[in-house]
Structure 1
Amino acid sequence: MSSVAEIFLPTEIVLQIVSRVDRSLRGHERQRTLYTLCLVSHQWYSAALSFLYARPRLEKGNAYRKFTAILCPPASAPKTSKDLGRLVRRLDLSRLVHHSSNSMTARLIGRVRENLEVFIAPASGFSVNSFSPLSKCTKLRYLDLSLVNESFQFDSVIKSLRYMQHLVDFRAPGFMRITQDTVALRADSGGPTWPASIEQLQLSGTIDINMGTFRWPENITQLTLKHCMNLSLYVMTGLLGNHQLDENLKRLTVSTYNRGLQPECIHLIPVFLPNLLFLSIPGDLVHDIFFSMMKHRGKKLALEVLELGHTHTGDKLDFSIQSLINVLDTSLPNLRAVGFHTMYGDDHPDLDDALLKRAEEKADELPISDETVEFDAGTYYFD
């Protein structure tokens, strides 16, 4: 019987194969396949290991327990030469329920801190003790604490961000407290400031200060207000009147998941922020006066996309589509697209025709700028 000769593949070829698998598969199928490749040989193990640990999926079965047992072994466990924590680039714990304790989450963050770029915290198991190891994750680009059930003062949160000079997108804890005792972000404070790299911010929690003096990230371009506990007219007036937002903000999303929000809060947005390119707001809080105030003000807005999000108060819009069409030329010369949540049902052919006609007329004009929001012209629908 003739023996089968082994075929040797250069490591560069093996890496190309593993990289293709990593890009083409998703979720648990990707993880299972990469794990299988690690079992082929020492060569394949070395090639596939970094891909396997880069974006682990931990929510099914005993995956999280096994993962933490490897990265955070007890002190009595034998020492290993490999520091696998440095291979983790994305750690998503959002699907975990009661898998972890506060101490384990803090230990795990400490083990993956070296090269972590994306971190999504779990609802349970993240506490103030996690801020210390989190502050050492200096390569983070995306940080999402919005699911965390613990309550924090904003000073504690901002201090943990001070060394994250690559952080672009930050989603604050849902139960964060910005109160009169908060000193870190007042304009007259010498305390810690936001990382200069932050461009996208989701703000949540209880706001109990004059937002007109609030110190926003200096390069903020996108702001989402979601799960704010008291987004009253007083708070919104101060927030919208903050000169930093008027100068820098290009995209604003006001979620329906805010308490205290009134139609008057929404009607003030075009008045205070005429330079917005994208605006997403709860559809039920938009009244005809929203558009008549634009016309009365007599200034043209930069707005390119208006999105009318869902609501819990009903499935009908409380304004006339004609009132929007009437201000297209006078107040909204750049509006290209209007989005409707699917809960509102019917098509809006008159508005669609008006937007498409405008797009055709402008087709031969100068190219759009880098700041333009990319949406096809006309109306669209979303869930």
Structure 2
Amino acid sequence: MPSAVEIFVPTEILLQVVAVLDRSLKGKKRQDTLYNLCLVSHQWYSAALSFLYARPKLDAGNTYQRFTASMCPPAGSSKKSKGLGGLVRRLDLSRLVHHSSNSMTARLIGRVKENLEVFIAPAAGFSVNCLSPLSKCTKLRYLDLSLVNEPIAFESILKTLRFMEQLLNFRTPRFMRISRKGMKEEDRKWPSNLRTLQLGGSMDAKMHTFPWPENISSLCLKHCMNLSLNTMTGILSNRLLGQNLKRLTISTYNRGLQPECIHLIPAYLTNLLFLSIPGDLVQDIFFTLIQVQKCELALEVVEFGHTHTSEKLDFSIQSIIDTLDSGLPNLRAVGFHTMYGEYIDLDDALLEHAEDRGEDLQISDETVEFDAGTYYFD
């Protein structure tokens, strides 16, 4: 019986096979498959290794411990990281609870800094001493510190971001202390390409002088400790936001919010395309003020998010319908949290409004995922 003939497969083909598996598989199944491919042979190892470490799934303590043992072997250990840190593109530590210490997180960030593009920090195990290695991750595009429990000063945050010129999306720590006291003018600058910002924390400074990113187009206010009327007035009255902001999300997870804070939005942010606000803070006067404004708003999508106070809206659906021709001519989609029920009349009015506009209906890049009518979300 003739012996089997070994067939050589070029590494380029193996890379294509691994790339398909990497895209099609998710979670633990993806990670287990890539790991097993690395065990097939030296050739498969070289083809699959970069995919295995590009975005590791770290959702359990033992997984995290094995990962850190590979990336940060203890001093005197015979094991070496062999440059594995440079393969990591996405590091998501959000599912870890008490699996890491501040020092280990800092060491880990230092090992993966070379090509890291996405970093999501854990609630525990991240502190001020992690900011120094984080500042060297100059290829970051997405940075999420919103889960961090330790208070961090605004000045320290800006110094950390100083050299992240590719950063597009940033979420601040929920307990950040915003204060400009003692800060130099050159220390108040954000990365030039930053477009999306989620802001939280204690706002000690007067927000009308807050140094917003120059090219900001999307803002989310979440976990703000004192989002009072005076604070909101300072935020909304900023000229840069009035010119640049296209998306605004105000989460229900803020302290101090009143209906009057929501009433201010149409007066200051006339260029908004997308607005998401807590449903219980919206009253009929919100739409009345829009109708009496001299300028028509650019707003295309409005969402009414969930609340902790009531399962009923404090405004009539007819108020929205009445603004379609006087104040909100561009509105084509309205979203409701499922706790509020369904509104067929509004859906019909929006579809009819879109048909009346015909070819004049323009779909912007900011809201392209929404069709004309109502939709519901959890």
Q: Same fold (TM over 0.5)?
A: yes
How far apart are the structure 1 equivalents of 2:234 and 2:205? 9
Partner of 1:222: 218
Code of the residue aligned with 1:228 in structure 2: it is C
Partner of 2:21: 21
Paired residues for 1:178-217 under 5 Å: 178-179=178-179, 181=181, 183=183, 189-217=185-213
**251 and 367 in structure 1: CA distance in 2 versus 1, 3 angstrom threshold:** closer
How far apart are the structure 2 equivalents of 1:182 and 1:14? 56
Asked if the contact 1:115–1:139 (Cα under 8 Å) also holds between the matched residues in 2, the reply is yes
Q: Give the Å deviation of 1:295.
A: 1.4
Asked if the contact 1:143–1:169 (Cα under 8 Å) also holds between the matched residues in 2, the reply is yes
Partner of 1:57: 57
Asked if the contact 2:72–2:81 (Cα under 8 Å) also holds between the matched residues in 1, the reply is no
Paired residues for 1:66-105 under 5 Å: 66-78=66-78, 80=80, 82-105=82-105
Q: Deviations over 1:4-60 (max 9, x none)?
A: 222211111111110000000001100000000000100000000000000001122
Match of 1:257 among 253, 256, 260: 253
Q: Give the Å deviation of 1:227.
A: 0.3
Paired residues for 1:251-290 under 5 Å: 251-290=247-286
Partner of 1:327: 323
- The reply to whether residue 241 of structure 1 matches residue 237 of structure 2 is yes
**61 and 74 in structure 1: CA distance in 2 versus 1, 3 angstrom threshold:** closer
For structure 1, which runs of at least 5 residues remain unmatched after alignment? none
Q: Give the Å deviation of 1:371.
A: 4.8
More helix by share: 2
Q: Give the Å deviation of 1:176.
A: 0.1
- The reply to whether residue 146 of structure 1 matches residue 142 of structure 2 is no
Q: Give the Å deviation of 1:321.
A: 0.7
Q: Tell me, what secondary structure is at the counterpart of 1:160?
A: helix
How far apart are the structure 1 equivalents of 2:365 and 2:111? 39
Q: Tell me, what secondary structure is at the counterpart of 1:205?
A: strand
Alignment: residue pair count:
378
Q: Deviations over 1:222-252 (max 9, x none)?
A: 0000000000001000000001100100000
How far apart are the structure 2 equivalents of 1:182 and 1:250? 32
Partner of 2:354: 359
How far apart are the structure 1 equivalents of 2:319 and 2:226? 30
Q: Give the Å deviation of 1:183.
A: 2.8
TM-score by length of 1: 0.96
Asked if the contact 1:288–1:323 (Cα under 8 Å) also holds between the matched residues in 2, the reply is yes
How far apart are the structure 2 equivalents of 1:367 and 1:191? 40
Partner of 1:379: 374
Comparing 235-244 with 290-299, greater Cα deviation is found at 290-299
Comparing 53-62 with 266-275, greater Cα deviation is found at 53-62
- The reply to whether residue 3 of structure 1 matches residue 18 of structure 2 is no
Code of the residue aligned with 1:110 in structure 2: it is G
Q: Deviations over 1:185-234 (max 9, x none)?
A: xxxx3324100010000000000211111110000000000000000001
Q: Tell me, what secondary structure is at the counterpart of 1:122?
A: coil
Q: Deviations over 1:331-359 (max 9, x none)?
A: 000000000000111x2122111100121
Asked if the contact 1:301–1:332 (Cα under 8 Å) also holds between the matched residues in 2, the reply is yes
How far apart are the structure 2 equivalents of 1:198 and 1:180? 20
Q: Give the Å deviation of 1:2.
A: 4.2
Q: Give the Å deviation of 1:327.
A: 1.2
TM-score by length of 2: 0.97
Q: Tell me, what secondary structure is at the counterpart of 1:77?
A: coil
Q: Deviations over 1:108-162 (max 9, x none)?
A: 0000000000000000000100000000000000000000000011000110000
Q: Give the Å deviation of 1:78.
A: 2.2
Q: Give the Å deviation of 1:77.
A: 1.1
Asked if the contact 2:73–2:81 (Cα under 8 Å) also holds between the matched residues in 1, the reply is no
Partner of 2:312: 316
- Give 4+ residue runs of structure 1 displaced > 6 Å after superposition: none
Partner of 2:162: 162
How far apart are the structure 2 equivalents of 1:138 and 1:96? 24
Partner of 2:43: 43
How far apart are the structure 2 equivalents of 1:324 and 1:67? 53
Asked if the contact 2:170–2:198 (Cα under 8 Å) also holds between the matched residues in 1, the reply is yes
- State the superposition RMSD in angstroms: 1.4
Comparing 94-103 with 74-83, greater Cα deviation is found at 74-83
Q: Give the Å deviation of 1:324.
A: 1.2
